[in-house]
Amino acid sequence: MGKKILIVDDEHYIRMLLEETLEDLEDEGVELLIASNGAEALETIKTEKPELVFLDVMMPKMNGFDVCNIVKNELKLDDTYIIMLTAKGQEFDKQKGQEVGADLYMTKPFDPDEVVEKSLEILNLD
């Protein structure tokens, strides 16, 4: 059974960037899933149970905090590792991210090498 990574961002450009950054992991049997808003992300998390989610904070329909809160505190999906993606300098977000159970924070623009490194580590592929 392959591992899954879900990329959630309402900006097409960011989704593409993350997808391109992570596409080499597909050679390791990792499946990349995409969602463009919070509601879609939640559905995908419920049905696909990805091990890792790159979750944008600011999105229409449902923001990243709400998604994270439901996944971690209501659905209790502790095996789902959530990395919140936020624009630089939104410090107050970190506090809120910790409250809703986010596992890690990355600021945009992100470092592709760091994204790959973290993904390998979280999925135990290194």
3-state helix, strand, coil in the chain (%, to 5): 50, 20, 30
Span 41-65, pLDDT tens digits = 999 999 999 999 999 999 988 999 9
pLDDT above 70 as % of the chain: 94
**6 φ, ψ to 5°?**
-105, 130
What confidence score (pLDDT) does residue 1 get? 65
Q: What is the pTM of this model?
A: 0.94
Cα–Cα distance, 2 to 106 (Å, whole number): 25
The CATH number given to whatever domain includes residue 31 is: 3.40.50.2300
**19: containing domain:** 4-122
Structural domains in the chain (count): 1
